[in-house]
């Protein structure tokens, strides 16, 4: 299997050429897996080759290769250690005064450049790896990604610092696909990803297209890899025109002053699904 992946990683571009009529995209590929020989790494390589073949521009943040520091601390924001360290306010002061640490500023600049963000990671304990969570903790600083105010109104959930961009999650899991169905033991995949897709990406204004799940990742055959790579290439070809998940906007009128859905909206229903219009 390892030899197969090694050979596949160097397929000619002619084998992955596709058509695209939607213009050039600027894409940030955010990757969180510790092994460059992994299934995830080979799928990423397939995806990046596809982007190049389609004429898109891309930048990559390979967090493990970068030895990304996951834990927030006062040095990130040039904060005086003699004063209480309140992360939100300290990060906003540093952002507004140009005193964010160099690594945070570099990732912020990639985000500003990108029109689309692809987040790729293995599902560990029903969530993202800690190094990726730490990327959000440190890079999505106050005043840049959230706590953006316009005309006295806080912009979030469909509006905000990253509005106009879109995102797609590519996630692998060891369990079989059926276990991520609505009645599967692991829970429906969009419910598992709700904190990331709704509470982080949509919260900051990004449109989120449906995720790509790569199940049974610990038992992949060469044929299964080719099918997963094909699905990824197709998702990348259609990414500019894919309909985003229909999350409700905070300021659309669906929520009351306490940010609770009005009683006439999805009456009698509860759970994550009520925050989607379809």
DSSP per residue, 230-256? HHHHHHHHTGGGPPPP-BPPGGGSSB-
Q: Which CATH superfamily is domain 2-247 in?
A: Flavodoxin domain (3.40.50.360)
Please compute the mean of the pLDDT values over residues 107-112 and round it to a whole number: 97
Regarding predicted confidence, which is higher, 152 or 251? Answer: 251
User: What pLDDT does residue 7 have?
Assistant: 37
- Tell me how far apart the alpha carbons of residues 23 and 117 are, in angstroms, rounded to a whole number: 16
User: What pLDDT does residue 275 have?
Assistant: 96
pLDDT confidence of 91, banded at 50, 70, 90? very high
pLDDT above 80 (res 22): no
Please compute the mean of the pLDDT values over residues 29-53 and round it to a whole number: 95
pLDDT confidence of 70, banded at 50, 70, 90? very high
Please compute the mean of the pLDDT values over residues 253-271 and round it to a whole number: 94
Residues forming CATH 3.40.50.360 domain(s) in the chain:
2-247
User: What pLDDT does residue 278 have?
Assistant: 80
- Tell me how far apart the alpha carbons of residues 245 and 248 are, in angstroms, rounded to a whole number: 9
pLDDT above 90 (res 219): no
Tens digit of each residue's pLDDT (9 = 90 or more) over 146-205: 988 888 888 999 999 999 999 999 999 998 989 999 999 999 999 999 999 999 999 999
Count of beta carbons in the 10 Å neighbourhood of residue 102: 6
């Amino acid at each position: 299997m390892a030899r197969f992946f090694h050979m596949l990683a160097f397929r000619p571009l002619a084998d992955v050429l596709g058509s695209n009529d939607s213009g050039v995209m600027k894409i940030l590929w955010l990757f969180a897996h510790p092994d460059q020989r992994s299934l995830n790494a080979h799928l990423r390589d397939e995806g990046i080759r596809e982007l190049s073949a389609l004429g898109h521009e891309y930048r990559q943040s390979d967090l493990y290769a970068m030895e990304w520091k996951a834990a927030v601390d006062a040095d990130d924001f040039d904060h005086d250690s003699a004063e209480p360290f309140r992360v939100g306010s300290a990060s906003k002061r540093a952002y507004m005064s140009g005193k964010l640490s160099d690594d945070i500023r570099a990732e912020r600049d990639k985000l500003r450049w990108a029109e689309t963000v692809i987040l790729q990671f293995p599902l560990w304990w029903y969530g993202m790896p800690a190094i990726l969570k730490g990327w959000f903790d440190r890079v999505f600083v106050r005043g840049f990604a959230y706590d953006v105010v316009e005309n006295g109104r806080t912009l979030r959930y469909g509006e905000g610092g990253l509005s106009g961009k879109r995102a797609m999650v590519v996630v692998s899991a060891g369990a079989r696909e059926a276990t991520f169905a609505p009645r599967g033991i692991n829970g429906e995949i969009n419910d598992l990803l709700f904190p990331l897709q709704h509470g982080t990406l949509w919260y900051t204004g990004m449109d989120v297209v449906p995720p790509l799940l790569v199940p049974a990742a610990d038992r992949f055959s060469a044929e299964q890899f080719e099918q997963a790579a094909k699905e990824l290439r197709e998702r990348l070809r259609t990414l500019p025109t894919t309909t985003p998940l229909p999350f409700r906007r905070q300021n659309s009128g669906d929520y009351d002053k306490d940010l609770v859905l009005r009683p006439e909206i999805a009456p009698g229903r509860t759970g994550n699904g009520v925050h989607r219009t379809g």
